[in-house]
Amino acid sequence: MTGADAAAAAGVLRPAVLRRRRLLGRVRRDPAAVASALLLAVILAGVLVLPEAWPYRYDQQSLEHQFEGPSGRHPLGTDQYGRDLLTRLAYGGRISLAVAFVTVLAELVLGAALGGVAGYAGGAIDDWLMRLTDVMLAFPALLLALLLAAFLGPGTTTVIAALALAGWPGMARTVRSEVLSLREREYVVAARAQGAPPRRILLWHLLPNTVHLLVVRATLDVGPIILTEATLSFLGLGIQRPIPSWGVLIADSFQHLQSYPYLAIVPCVALSATILTLNFFGEGLAEAMDPSVREGAS
Amino acid sequence: MTRFVLRRLALTLLLVVASSVVVFVVGRLAPGDPVQLLMGDLRDPVVEGRIRRELGLDRPVWEQYLRFARRAVRGNFGQSYANPGRPVAGMIGQALPVTAALATAAVGLALLLGLPLGLLAAVGRGTLPDVVTRFVALGGMSIPSFVVAVVLIQWLALGWHVAPVSGWGEPRHYLLPVAALTLQPLAYVTRVTRAGILRVLPEDYVRTARSKGLSPGRVLVRHVLPNALISIITVAGLAFSYTLTGAFVVETIFRIPGLGQAAVGALFLRDYPMIQAVGLLYAAIFLGTGLLADVGYAVVDPRVRYRR
């Protein structure tokens, strides 16, 4: 990163652009990251295309075709209501990924806003906001989500709200520490000298330069979010039936585990593989950005 | 040192009180009325009014909180709404040891396996053990405990009949839940051990120890491990509190009468006294382990004491 900064100071390239290029270059040389990126692309394509292209709907029941094994018509077989498992798997994945995406977006907005303000304003505002993140970080996301689900009633919105609420403090800390180190740079001082108001400095000069960090952080957050959503849905506190998510699929098949284990194993594999791939990709990104990450703090 | 501990203790107490207020207020503001749930189909405004008065639910929220706080200080958390006649303190007294035993076993096992794994990975960086460890660590963080539970039940309980699917009270009942719970702390302990040791290895004093002719094993045990211990202590504390509070998933699957099950049940029945007590307990556990970890730091590493 110091090299990038030096080049930026020399006026060769805008720091953000330069950083992005170097980052992508390093990612491309990491085979694990490339493989996981490809696998992610496949998963995403499957989740987006399959439910549309396949002739069944996720809630289309057929009581003559319960618990069918894999066949030409149903490549993964059918569940206890004769619903096509492949369709449900793809649609459930779409829900799980969509929930995670919206959650990360909400987290980003909250985290960037509060972290940016804390870092730029400093003083008492910073102190109090950081105390708040301390307390929030001490509380596990799962517990917070459980509380909210129990009090607000379970549902997709509750899940997203709970997960975003639990996730923003980490994001805010990332933004804050970066803003803290950026706010005395020449270009910020120059903007201030020209009379730019704090809001403009924050939105135009500081936050855009934290984007690379936020992308990595967001990628690393998606895996745990999917995991927590699946756990909540598994317990009946997350996504509500008839809408499937991977957690719902596993919960539904749990009672038939003895007779039809593959009904549970298939969504288990899909869920774990997706989270694993996301974590691999996120780690690759983080490492590309800062090679000391793997050696240093985890 | 004493000042440091006292300051941290005061802050922790303040935060515990603050979280109890939050749990209390959020609970009261949420939709759902315990009196209605208690009465079921019965619609009698006279009875309803009487119950409400008896439970003190007709008073303003701040008054209810003060009453709760006055009693809680003396260890009296009132009686459960859902199980009339049973004191909440007694119910928690039954459930907490179960969960604590589960979490202790899971985190203990994680430390037992994770420390050597992390050590092996750090020392043989880039070798096969390191690669294996990276997979174990990422797998532990990527595979939800209930998925592990499903797989374990399928193979160990239903397939090979090694362990019972559910039940509680005998040692063999620990087998599957502990196995399901231990994977996540194992992942964290392994990663942090590896990272901690790698951070210490390039230090000057390690090179000095090596150059004065100490055997590699001795350098590791005397010079590297103690200094890597700090991050491991924190993560062990965090892992313990996370496992303790996260155990409810595993408790639900294996039908274990632990704290998590009691808490989830209480949330749905709007069993206010139980919710408040469990909320307070969870907050105390979390902030308490945070405090212990901080004090542990200060004991292990004198540098921490003088900061701030």
Three-state SS annotation for B46-75: HHHHHHHHHHCCCCCHHHHHHHHHHHHHCC
For position A293, what pLDDT does the model report?
A: 47
Q: Tell me whether B132 touches chain A (CB under 8 Å).
A: no
The predicted model scores a pTM of 0.81
Q: Taking a C-beta distance cutoff of 8 angstroms, is the pair B251, B149 a contact? A: no
d(CA B200, CA A168): 32
* Test mutation, B142, B145, B152, B275, chain A, max A CBs within 10 A: B142
Q: Looking at CA atoms only, how far is residue B236 from chain A in angstroms?
A: 14
Q: Tell me whether B114 touches chain A (CB under 8 Å).
A: no
For position A296, what pLDDT does the model report?
A: 37
For position A13, what pLDDT does the model report?
A: 55
Of B144, B242, B268, nearest to A150 by CB-CB distance is: B268
The C-alpha R_g of chain A, in whole angstroms, comes to: 22
Q: Tell me whether A108 touches chain B (CB under 8 Å).
A: no
Residue A102 pLDDT class (50, 70, 90 cuts): very high
> Residues A140-179, buried b or exposed e (16+ Cβ, 10 A)?
bbbbbbbbbbbbbebebebbbbbbbbbbbbbbbbbbbebb
Residue of B nearest to A132 (CA): B15
What DSSP string runs through chain A? Answer: -HHHHHHHHTTSS-HHHHHHHHHHHHHHT-HHHHHHHHHHHHHHHHHHHHHHHSSS-TT---GGGTT--S-SS-TT-B-TT--BHHHHHHHHHHHHHHHHHHHHHHHHHHHHHHHHHHHHH-HHHHHHHHHHHHHHHHS-HHHHHHHHHHHH-SSHHHHHHHHHHHHHHHHHHHHHHHHHHHTTSHHHHHHHHTT--HHHIIIIIIGGGGHHHHHHHHHHHHHHHHHHHHHHHHTTSSSPTTS--HHHHHHHHHTTTTT-HHHHHHHHHHHHHHHHHHHHHHHHHHHHH-TTTTTS--
Q: Which two tokens stand for residue B42?
A: 């019965």
In the block, tokens 């509680």 appear at B168
d(CA B189, CA B239): 8
Residue of A nearest to B239 (CA): A140
Task: Measure the CA dihedral B101/B102/B106/B109, to 10°.
Answer: 40
List, for residues B13-55, the tens digit of each pLDDT value.
888 888 888 778 777 776 667 777 777 777 778 888 888 887 7
Residue B217's Cβ-count burial label (10 Å; 0-12, 13-18, 19+) is: exposed
* A271 contacts in chain B (CB < 8 Å): 144, 147
List, for residues B86-104, the tens digit of each pLDDT value.
888 888 888 888 898 899 9
Average the pLDDT over A27-43 and give the result. Answer: 84
Q: Taking a C-beta distance cutoff of 8 angstroms, is the pair B82, B263 a contact? A: no
For position B302, what pLDDT does the model report?
A: 67
List, for residues B165-224, the tens digit of each pLDDT value.
676 767 777 778 888 899 889 998 998 888 888 888 888 888 888 888 888 888 888 888
Average the pLDDT over B236-264 and give the result. Answer: 83
Q: Taking a C-beta distance cutoff of 8 angstroms, is the pair B222, B206 a contact? A: no
CB-CB under 8 Å, B242 with A140: yes
Given a cut of 90, whether residue B62 has pLDDT beyond it is: no
Distances (CA, A) of A14 to A18, A120, A153, A192, A201: 6, 21, 48, 19, 16
Please identify among residues 202-241 of chain B the ones whose CB lies closer than 8 Å to any CB of chain A.
231
B160 alpha carbon, distance to own chain's centre:
31
Pick from A14-28, A196-210, A262-276: least confident: A14-28
Q: Tell me whether A254 touches chain B (CB under 8 Å).
A: yes
Q: Which two tokens stand for residue B116?
A: 């050597």
| Residue B52, amino acid | R
d(CA B275, CA B259): 11
For position A198, what pLDDT does the model report?
A: 86
* B255 contacts in chain A (CB < 8 Å): none
Considering only the C-alpha atoms of chain A, give the largest distance between any 2 of them, rounded to a whole number of Å: 76
Phi and psi (nearest 5°) for B87? -70, 140
What DSSP string runs through A270-290? Answer: HHHHHHHHHHHHHHHHHHHH-
Residue A106 pLDDT class (50, 70, 90 cuts): very high
Q: Taking a C-beta distance cutoff of 8 angstroms, is the pair B23, B263 a contact? A: no
For position A153, what pLDDT does the model report?
A: 76
Of A234, A264, A276, nearest to B139 by CB-CB distance is: A276
Distances (CA, A) of B112 to A146, B116, B152, B179, B207: 31, 7, 21, 13, 28
* B143 contacts in chain A (CB < 8 Å): 272, 275-276
For position A104, what pLDDT does the model report?
A: 94
Average pLDDT over all residues of chain A: 81
Average the pLDDT over B232-239 and give the result. Answer: 81
Give the closest residue to B22 by CA, choosing from A138, A103, A147, A141.
A147
Is the N-terminal amide bond of A261 cis, ω within 30° of 0?
no
* B146 contacts in chain A (CB < 8 Å): 230-231, 234, 250
Q: Looking at CA atoms only, how far is residue A140 from chain B in angstroms?
A: 7
CA angle at residue B230 from B226 to B235, to 5 degrees?
Answer: 130
Given a cut of 60, whether residue A294 has pLDDT beyond it is: no
Of A135, A250, A298, nearest to B191 by CB-CB distance is: A298
CB-CB under 8 Å, A139 with B286: yes
Given a cut of 50, whether residue A122 has pLDDT beyond it is: yes
For position A286, what pLDDT does the model report?
A: 81
Residue of B nearest to A294 (CA): B195
Q: Tell me whether B248 touches chain A (CB under 8 Å).
A: yes
Q: Looking at CA atoms only, how far is residue A197 from chain B in angstroms?
A: 33
Q: Tell me whether B131 touches chain A (CB under 8 Å).
A: no
Q: Looking at CA atoms only, how far is residue A227 from chain B in angstroms?
A: 6
* A297 contacts in chain B (CB < 8 Å): 195, 231
Q: Tell me whether A204 touches chain B (CB under 8 Å).
A: no
Give the closest residue to B274 by CA, choosing from B102, B135, B79, B94.
B79
How many Å from the N-terminal Cα to the C-terminal Cα in chain B?
A: 12
List, for residues A136-163, the tens digit of each pLDDT value.
776 777 777 777 777 777 788 888 988 8
* B287 contacts in chain A (CB < 8 Å): 138
Q: Taking a C-beta distance cutoff of 8 angstroms, is the pair B285, B226 a contact? A: no
Residue of A nearest to B33 (CA): A151
CB-CB under 8 Å, A265 with B154: yes
